[in-house]
Structure 1
Amino acid sequence: MVKRNLDALGEDSISIVQPPSQIRKMSARPATQSVTQPATTTIDLTPKEAQLKDLLLDAANFIDESGEVEDSVVLRWAGGWVRDKLLGIESHDIDTAINVMTGEAFALKLREVCEHPNIVKKHGIAESDIGNLHKIARNPEKSKHLETTTVKLFGYDVDFVNLRKETYTEDSRNPQVEFGTAEEDALRRDATVNALFYNLNTGKVEDFTTGLADMESRLIRTPLEPFQTFMDDPLRVLRLIRFASRLEFTIDPAAEKVMGDPRVLDALRLKISRERVGVELEKMLKGNHPHKSLEYINDLGLYHTIFTDPSKTGMPTPDISNWRLAYDCLDLLRLNKTPGSIYDVLVRSDEAAYYAWVLAAICPWENIEDPKNTSKGKAPPPLVTLAVREGIKAPNKLCDITTAAHNNRGEIMSLVAAVSDKAPFITERDRFGMAIRRWDSKGGHWTLQVLYALLVEAMDTLGRESKEPGTKDKFLRKWQTFLDHLHELDVMEAPSLKRLIDGNQLVKALGVKPGKWLAQALEVCIAWQLRHPEATDPAGAIEEVKNRRAELGIPGN
């Protein structure tokens, strides 16, 4: 039966539709209006996309021929791939929606089809073209309301899932999910520009909402009435911000009006896991327009809902009236990056760039005094760390950087002031080098700790003195001078300084057993090494440790 059905599939050529002159103009209609016939347009496929389309259609034809389903299989590429394709953005993630069967059932049949020699030959399938089948379980807390199945095909990550409709209850963001029509599937999506389908059977884009018109208008709009859309799933508030900032679109004023509604914000606190909030924020801040994302969060009144510990009823709310100055300053530094500039020196990787935006986001917390630790145990994390740890479930590494940036800010500011005031000790290489090593040892990324201190001061100084001419230039010159001074001292890489002597060698040289004193004694050696950068023999460092034997608590011979 398999061979007969597969052999019956003809050598139909792939139909590549005509170019759309970007997006065809059409009259707008309300996003909530139900339509019988969707608006349509066409798009070009690349040869690889066309190859994939042809294979999937052959799999659908095989299923139709087998008589396993009553209605013909109709396949649609959905959502982000269609949107990006219309915008001229290449995407290698393709969601495939199926009308009459689950994604797993279709993917299993597809694998069966791909094992037939005629299909392998017809589509030029190499062994590396078809990857393993992966089932992704339903996970409502991660916004996965339905099982999906993923297969790597011709270099694309192709997800298979059935068309569905969703019904929400008042107390949960996890809907009841069942098979639905293409229109029902479109209406349950977060934005009209994400509700478009490319029908593989007809070769046309289908728009059951106002997606095409909104694409042309560069507008982010909800398919259904905004307030109910956000109350059903408050995560959509953050998703709309992410798409608007990433695509440089404008959010529909009707949606903006209710995104900061107290009822929506309460739902965001109660119905959304903080892990999911963190995932959305991370995608925003790792995108091409993180500044715009923070601007939306500020303007729409979302700050205190995102950057907080929702489990603590008495959590304070920082003053964010000058917060804009912090993220504006970071964006200014980024846009003016040149070799040796502040951003170039302090932000050294893509990971660091993401951390930098998170630090800019939490600057307002620096002006809230931490409560006094009344217990005898370990002090609790500072409030600024709680804001990222509990608010967006930041990983431990980012929490450690945040804590270190908070704890070390005072020392950083004092050294910046010393350089600015040309204090007598600023030529002491060991003073600066050892400080940098301390900062880095606590949380790593010492340069980001310096950036945090800069942004906190920008929020305060530029807000207080903004009317004075030249304030911003004077402020940035001070920090540039500080970094230039560190470069002149050649201490930028102090944390990775190669030791001239290790613990075993020092113990042997002193003729004593190791003890608690050893760590501090090794720091003395490093400080000596920083004062004598040309030295290759540790004898001088050993001598200094000997001279400070009593101070360091080193036992006698």
Structure 2
Amino acid sequence: MYRRPHSVARLVHSVRRMSTPKIILTETESKIRDLLVDYTNHYNSSLLENEQQKGLELRITGGWVRDKLLGLESNDIDIAIDHTTGVEFAEGLQEYVQHDDDVSQKDKMVGIHKIDKNPEKSKHLETCKTKILGQEIDLVNLRNETYTEESRVPTVEYGTPEEDAFRRDATINALFYNLHTGLVEDFTRRGLEDLAKGLIRTPLPPRQTFLDDPLRCLRLIRFAGRFNFDIVEECKAAMSTSEIHDVLVSKVSKERVGIEVGKMLRGPNVEKCLRLMYDTKIYKAIFNFGEAQEGVLTVNPERIREIDEHLLSQQEDTLKLITELLPQLETLLTDNANLQESYRSIKAQPESQYLYYISLILSHWSGVAPFKTKLSKSTPLSPVELVLKYSLRMPTKDVTHSRKIVENYPKFISFVHQVAQSPDGLARSQLGLAIMPFGQDWPSFIITCFILDSFQASHTESPQYHTILEAYSHIYREIVEQNLTETYKLRPLMDGKTLGLKLGKKPGPWMKEALDHMIVWQLDNPSGGIDDYFASKQ
């Protein structure tokens, strides 16, 4: 079971004990605070003659406050400004620094980068990015948001601190740090309490919050995984409804969904995120054919039942196995002398972990024939390609990798079973050819196949997971002992053109078969050379 990191658990306990938690700034953060407050005081003093203008008050908002209270360092500093734009504030700050008598001040601030409005990427107001004392700072405005039923892109206007807090996705992300008072401000009146108790909830009623922006469902799931916090039942109930699932499909771009899912699967507590997807059934709105789904159903009417079964019941079964059985299997892997390092390597690299989980999640599509689509009329697409390209917007190389794993794991499982039944008859070339297609990722492929083999065995009366693990451990050991770990680098002793000249034959389809046979010979005769190869053919 995943446990909250010791430092986070200890500091959650500290937050629980403190009525008004204090944030401890680093030396650099203190200098940044002093500079910003000095300039703000200078700016406000110039407004004394104009009573209609209010003075500025600066706050750090969002994740930085949450992380600092949990004892985690954060470089994601957003400074919220209440009565001027970020660009205007930055330009005034830069001029203040340049005209300061203290020469050491002049290198404190570097560059101003204006970020225009881009609602489709959640940039609803013009903002500004700068660098102070080597630290990137985003200068943003407090804002209020109004949504329509058709889009998750709101109408945005400048707001008060309280309005800004209540429009956020979770109370723990709605805490502010006032640069002038040095105090944490909790305008929702729930943020500090929820942070202390390890709870995630929306500041406003969850149904309307999720209808306004359904992506918040995925963000809450991600934060629950990241901090091992619990989503309150009211929010889980709201995100479990088909109403919310439907608007997640209709209102949120597939790119944004893919980004959130990617962050979950690269994070520290993936099983918890997938469990929440399973419990709330929100996976239905995620692991589908996305923009291609309507077209696939239209041109494959005879396969609608097959599609529904895999998108719904089989996907649900797979997620249940991942959340309930996978932790037990991973414990076995960590105790296995041959496979433990490969398993740990997967979990130590976010990208490897991401691809590992994607292959497990979509494994039930193995053996399902490609589908004709309206998007690619000439070439039918595999279901794995449809999910990853049109629902999660994954890069082509990752789609190719995952498709290869899902399409080939049953064949490798059969190979492992055959070797287990007659281990003495294993040729070196059989072993090399079995892992060659997976390149340097062959250890990860073996781990994935063990997991999926065990998933299949779980449906039997008395699955023997230790026995299954030993079969894969034996395969791994053979690969190492027979010096096949870099088989993927092996190339034929000569290229096709040279082979044709040697044999006096014109280029043609025969070449591929001949070169494949050459690779097999090389695998079985690792110390042999070109003369040995041709001598063996006489």
- Please indicate the TM-score interval, normalised by the length of the shorter structure: 0.7 to 0.9
Q: Provide the C-alpha distance between the structure 2 equivalents of 1:167 and 1:60, rounded to a whole number of angstroms.
A: 30
Q: Describe how 1:503-542 pairs up with structure 2 within 5 A.
A: 503=496, 506=499, 509-510=502-503, 515-535=508-528, 537-542=529-534
Cα deviation for residue 253 of structure 1 reads: 1.1
What's the C-alpha RMSD, in Å, of the aligned pairs?
Answer: 3.0
Task: Indicate the SS of the match to 2:112.
Answer: strand
Contact 1:294 1:361 in 2 (8 A): no
Q: Provide the C-alpha distance between the structure 2 equivalents of 1:236 and 1:84, rounded to a whole number of angstroms.
A: 19
Q: Provide the C-alpha distance between the structure 1 equivalents of 2:234 and 2:373, rounded to a whole number of angstroms.
A: 49
Amino acid at match of 1:155: G
Aligned match of 1:356: 356
Aligned match of 2:123: 144
Amino acid at match of 2:133: F
**2:307 is the counterpart of 1:324:** no
Contact 1:366 1:406 in 2 (8 A): yes
The farther-off stretch of 486-495 and 81-90 is 486-495
Which of 181, 200, 203 is the equivalent residue of 1:202? Answer: 181
Q: Provide the C-alpha distance between the structure 2 equivalents of 1:372 and 1:201, rounded to a whole number of angstroms.
A: 61
Which of 334, 342, 359 is the equivalent residue of 1:337? Answer: 334
Which of 97, 101, 113 is the equivalent residue of 1:114? Answer: 97
Task: Indicate the SS of the match to 1:380.
Answer: coil
Contact 2:117 2:123 in 1 (8 A): yes
Q: Provide the C-alpha distance between the structure 2 equivalents of 1:181 and 1:517, rounded to a whole number of angstroms.
A: 75
Which of 217, 221, 227 is the equivalent residue of 1:241? Answer: 221
CA distance 1:190–1:422, shift in 2 (3 Å): same
Per-residue Cα deviation, 1:192-246 (whole angstroms, up to 9, x for no partner): 0000000001111100011011111111011001111111100000000011110
Contact 2:218 2:260 in 1 (8 A): yes
TM-score normalised by length of structure 2: 0.85
Which of 61, 73, 76 is the equivalent residue of 1:93? Answer: 76
Per-residue Cα deviation, 1:138-173 (whole angstroms, up to 9, x for no partner): 333333323322223233221110100001111111
Aligned match of 2:436: 437
Which of 141, 145, 155 is the equivalent residue of 1:166? Answer: 145
Aligned match of 2:399: 399
CA distance 1:476–1:54, shift in 2 (3 Å): same
**2:277 is the counterpart of 1:281:** no
CA distance 1:20–1:41, shift in 2 (3 Å): farther
Contact 1:330 1:455 in 2 (8 A): yes
Q: Provide the C-alpha distance between the structure 2 equivalents of 1:339 and 1:130, rounded to a whole number of angstroms.
A: 53
CA distance 1:113–1:407, shift in 2 (3 Å): same
Cα deviation for residue 66 of structure 1 reads: 4.5
TM-score normalised by length of structure 1: 0.82
CA distance 1:541–1:142, shift in 2 (3 Å): farther
Q: Describe how 1:259-298 pairs up with structure 2 within 5 A.
A: 259-298=239-278
Amino acid at match of 1:185: D
Cα deviation for residue 340 of structure 1 reads: 4.9
Task: Indicate the SS of the match to 2:15.
Answer: coil
Cα deviation for residue 409 of structure 1 reads: 2.3
Q: Provide the C-alpha distance between the structure 2 equivalents of 1:340 and 1:271, rounded to a whole number of angstroms.
A: 48
Which of 177, 180, 200 is the equivalent residue of 2:159? Answer: 180
Contact 1:323 1:363 in 2 (8 A): no
Which of 75, 86, 101 is the equivalent residue of 1:103? Answer: 86
Q: Describe how 1:402-551 pairs up with structure 2 within 5 A.
A: 402-422=402-422, 425-426=425-426, 428-440=427-439, 445-465=441-461, 468=462, 471-497=464-490, 500-503=493-496, 506=499, 509-510=502-503, 515-535=508-528, 537-543=529-535
**2:286 is the counterpart of 1:303:** no
Task: Indicate the SS of the match to 2:157.
Answer: strand
CA distance 1:373–1:104, shift in 2 (3 Å): closer
The farther-off stretch of 355-364 and 209-218 is 355-364
Contact 2:170 2:202 in 1 (8 A): yes
**2:169 is the counterpart of 1:190:** yes
Contact 2:272 2:323 in 1 (8 A): no
Q: Provide the C-alpha distance between the structure 1 equivalents of 2:261 and 2:450, rounded to a whole number of angstroms.
A: 23
Per-residue Cα deviation, 1:266-303 (whole angstroms, up to 9, x for no partner): 11010011110110011111111112111111111112
Cα deviation for residue 384 of structure 1 reads: 2.6
Task: Indicate the SS of the match to 1:23.
Answer: helix
Contact 2:363 2:406 in 1 (8 A): no
Per-residue Cα deviation, 1:426-447 (whole angstroms, up to 9, x for no partner): 1x1112212322344xxx7344
Cα deviation for residue 514 of structure 1 reads: 5.0
Cα deviation for residue 542 of structure 1 reads: 4.3
Task: Indicate the SS of the match to 2:177.
Answer: strand
Cα deviation for residue 396 of structure 1 reads: 0.8
The farther-off stretch of 229-238 and 412-421 is 412-421
Q: Provide the C-alpha distance between the structure 2 equivalents of 1:379 and 1:420, rounded to a whole number of angstroms.
A: 38
Amino acid at match of 1:539: D
Aligned match of 2:206: 226
Per-residue Cα deviation, 1:74-114 (whole angstroms, up to 9, x for no partner): 11000100000000000111011000111222222223233
Cα deviation for residue 391 of structure 1 reads: 2.0
- Give percent identity, aligned residues only: 38
Q: Provide the C-alpha distance between the structure 1 equivalents of 2:487 and 2:326, rounded to a whole number of angstroms.
A: 25
Contact 2:258 2:393 in 1 (8 A): yes
Amino acid at match of 2:25: L
Aligned match of 1:72: 55
Cα deviation for residue 20 of structure 1 reads: 12
Cα deviation for residue 451 of structure 1 reads: 3.9
Q: Provide the C-alpha distance between the structure 2 equivalents of 1:475 and 1:485, rounded to a whole number of angstroms.
A: 16
**Greater share of helix:** 2
CA distance 1:130–1:539, shift in 2 (3 Å): farther
Aligned length: 503
Q: Provide the C-alpha distance between the structure 1 equivalents of 2:102 and 2:286, rounded to a whole number of angstroms.
A: 51
Cα deviation for residue 519 of structure 1 reads: 4.2
Q: Provide the C-alpha distance between the structure 1 equivalents of 2:410 and 2:278, rounded to a whole number of angstroms.
A: 27
Contact 2:39 2:93 in 1 (8 A): yes
CA distance 1:178–1:414, shift in 2 (3 Å): same
Contact 2:172 2:195 in 1 (8 A): yes
Q: Provide the C-alpha distance between the structure 1 equivalents of 2:329 and 2:97, rounded to a whole number of angstroms.
A: 52
Amino acid at match of 1:306: I
